Structure 1
Amino acid sequence: MKKVLFATTALVASAGFASADVALSGSAQMGVQGGSGDAVTQFVQDIDVTFTLSGETPGGITFGAAVDLDEDAGAVGTDDAGVAIFISGDFGTLTMGDTDGGFDAGMQEVNIGSPGSINDDETTHAGYSGNAGLDGTFDGQILSYSYSVSGFTITGSIEQDDGATIARPFNLPDDGTAADGLEADEVFGIGASYAGSFGGGSYTVGAGYQMTQDSHAAVAGDQELSIVGVSATVALDNGLSAGINYSQIDVDLGTVIAAADRSFSGTHVAVGASYSFGDFAVHANYGEFDWDSNATVEDATGFGLAASYDLGGGLSAHVGYGDSDIGSVNGVLTSTATSATAARTDASTWSVGLNMSF
């Protein structure tokens, strides 16, 4: 495929503003995917186009926006998905739109250095966490503020309550009524990270916290969902990189569940490592969710593998594999105290194909 080149365009906004730059980038993928269970062996193709707009005032304030056309901005329940707008200066950076909340901003994922796969097999298995926390509880539109100094970055965020009944995060239970879902207050998040270096490599450590209250549609009160986590990654100059993260989810559903203990917790832990040598890159990660015995969420484990070969000029070959092991639900499912009967499920996905970067 012919490489797409897009010349930077100067846009004269007004006499009071400097010119703004508009750039275009993208990628395309083609291959085959399949797996066990409900997975079907089939062709897979994807294209991602991103417009990036940026500018700077004479006073040194930068501003911009990004539009990711890979996102479906017209889908039900979304509001300008794939769009983020920012303004930045000595005061920090203020971003509004489809961006990371505080928890995700502070945490690092364990797929550091991963070459990726065309079906994201290594990051979609049941044991993987992308550290989204409670992001997307409503329509996914987030207001975040971050400030960086001397390697430290701190980020605070809020996702507003848009009045809609939300999807159930962490697979939380139906309340057994017609109000199938949760209604919550705003989601607040905060995260912090520190990036440093040493002889032969660099490292990043981080932590995050996110929470929301009044989290159930059928019950008044101060039910609360929260998640807190810590993470660390290291990247060596010899091509080896590794990461680890840990998080705890706490759930208080008040009188929603007809059981003696209506609060429960779960933990997630994951590790990953990558190695690049010449034109080759390989990656592996493992993760698990472990919930209390009275939790209404399934325990799950999984691992992912990815490998690539760089053919040059932006073209690379990729292969990926993901394996998931989902256990039966620990506790009750609904307010009627119906016992969980979900059977243990094993599933896997794989993909092989080409990635094109433009």
Structure 2
Amino acid sequence: MKKVLLATTALVAFAGAASADVSLSGSARFGLQWNDAAVSPVPSTTLEKRVTLNIDMTTETDSGLELGARIRLRNNETALTDVNGAVVYLKSGGLKLSVGNVCGALECMPGAYAGTVGLNGNGFSNVVMNTADQLYWTWTAYSSSGAGANGVEVEYSAGDFSGMLTYAALNDLTTADNIIGAHVAYKFGDWTVALGMQDGDTNPTWDKTVLTVGGKLGDFGVGLAYADNNGTDKFTINGSYSFGATTVSAFVSDDSSVAATDNPWGLGVSYDLGGASLVAGYSNSEIGVKRATAGIKFKF
């Protein structure tokens, strides 16, 4: 990676642009996944693998204004490599404006994914914005393999305070289902509190209010999350304990959905190999779907 970074930086500089960089980063994972709800001919146990490559491009003006862009390539066990929609931004100090395949105010809210277990998230029933009645993934989010929300996003940070405002749509800003979302967060010591909301123009499924609290007590991690999903409440409590290279984690949720038959819960364990991690997890969803995953994941 370092050789690629140096080569691309030298090439751009030679072309006459000042302070420009192109860098590569990413992640990968592989292992096995089990789903007791799999329907024949799909087997209950299948291979799991994913490779993600980020291409980040940045430059800086003479006045110190940073401009940049990112595209992502992703490949998994069921799809060929996709190039996603780009996000382009400009940044000055603690203020950042992004356009295109934006992150999403709730998606990138601190604590939104706290309590996630397993190699691939095991269905993400720990996420309080996922419910049996109001469906899964009904919020603006960065797309790793599609065009994304095509929105406008403003981020601001100053000291321990941060905030984000997102205005986007599923296709483009001219459609009737435009979505606005925002969050604010404050960090004090080892603890972070965040409050977020999202509102859709026409589809009430997108209306959400989210509160998260998370932090550390020595070797213990503790988190609490709550969401009002258009009248459907969901709570999640998560915790973790680290000893040596091993971390054990767990979550339990309460989904008020009429369609919910179980309290979602999950157990996870990871072992740090130094540059990679052995990961395993078992979970039960709000409708009783049981999942297990195990494998190795790493970043580069």
For this structure pair, what is the TM-score category when the shorter chain's length is used for normalisation?
Answer: 0.7 to 0.9
1:40 corresponds to which residue? 44
The aligned residue for residue 299 of structure 2 is 357
- Among 274, 278, 289, the residue aligned to 1:317: 278
Cα deviations by residue, 1:14-45 (Å, 9 ceiling, x for unpaired): 75x52211111222222222131216212222
Unaligned runs of 5+ residues in structure 1 are 165-182, 216-222, 251-264, 327-345
Indicate the residue corresponding to 1:128 in structure 2. 127
* Structure 1: distance between partners of 2:14 and 2:95: 24
User: Residue 107 of structure 2 aligns to a residue in which SS?
Assistant: helix
Q: Which amino acid aligns with 1:318?
A: V
Partner Cα distance (2:46, 2:206) in 1: 39
Q: Does 1:158 align with 2:167?
A: yes
1:189 to 167, 170, 181: 181
CA distance in 2, matches of 1:88, 1:71: 30
- What is the alpha-carbon distance in structure 1 between the residues aligned to residue 83 and residue 26 of structure 2? 19
Displacement of 1:127 after TM fit? 4.7
Aligned mate of 1:214, from 185, 196, 202: 202
With over 3 angstroms needed to count, the CA separation of the structure-2 counterparts of 1:195 and 1:189, relative to structure 1, is: same
Q: Tell me how far apart the structure 2 counterparts of residues 147 and 19 of structure 1 sit (CA, whole Å).
A: 24
**Shift of the alpha carbon at 1:5?**
5.1
RMSD: 3.2
- CA distance 1:240–1:63, change in 2 (3 Å): farther
CA distance in 2, matches of 1:350, 1:284: 14
State the one-letter code of the partner of 2:248: V
Q: CA deviation at 1:154?
A: 1.9
Relative to structure 1, the CA distance from residue 196 to residue 46 in structure 2 (aligned partners, 3 Å threshold; closer, same or farther) is same
Whether 1:203 aligns to 2:202 is no
Structure 1 residues 299 and 34: CA distance shift in structure 2, 3 A: closer
Distance 1:301 1:83 in 2: 38
Aligned position for 1:333: none
Q: What are the Cα deviations for residues 179-223 of structure 1, in whole angstroms up to 9, with x where unaligned?
A: xxxx843101121111121xxxx11111111111233xxxxxxx7
| Superposed displacement of residue 68, structure 1 | 2.0
Residue 348 in structure 1 maps to residue 290 in structure 2: yes
The counterpart of 2:233, out of the listed 267, 274, 287, is: 267
Greater displacement, 27-36 / 137-146? 137-146
How big is the shift at 1:71? 6.9
- What TM-score, normalized by structure 1, do the two folds share? 0.68
2:270 pairs with 1:308: yes
Q: Which of the residues 88, 96, 99 maps onto 2:99?
A: 96
* Unpaired runs of at least 5, structure 2: 131-136
C-alpha separation in 2, matches of 1:133 and 1:107 = 18
Compute the displacement of 1:91 (Å). 6.8
What residue number does 1:24 align with?
A: 24
- Cα 1:91–1:323 shift into 2, 3 Å: closer
TM-score with structure 2 setting the length? 0.79
Does the 8 Å CA contact 1:103/1:133 hold for their aligned counterparts?
A: no
Q: Is the 8 A contact 2:85 2:148 kept in 1?
A: no
Which residue in 1 is equivalent to 2:133? none
The one-letter code matched in structure 2 to 1:288 is: D
Alpha carbons 1:290, 1:300 under 8 Å: kept: no
Question: d(CA) in 2 for partners of 1:145 and 1:204?
Answer: 20
State the identity %.
Answer: 23
Give how far 1:53 is off. 1.9
Deviation at 1:268, TM superposition (A): 1.4
3-state DSSP of counterpart to 2:106: helix
Q: Cα–Cα, structure 1 residues 33 and 87, in superposed 2: closer, same or farther, change >3 Å?
A: same
CA contact (8 A) 1:25 1:51 kept: yes
Q: Distance in 2 between matches of 1:47 and 1:224?
A: 32
SS in 2 for 1:153: strand
* 1:277 partnered with 2:243: yes
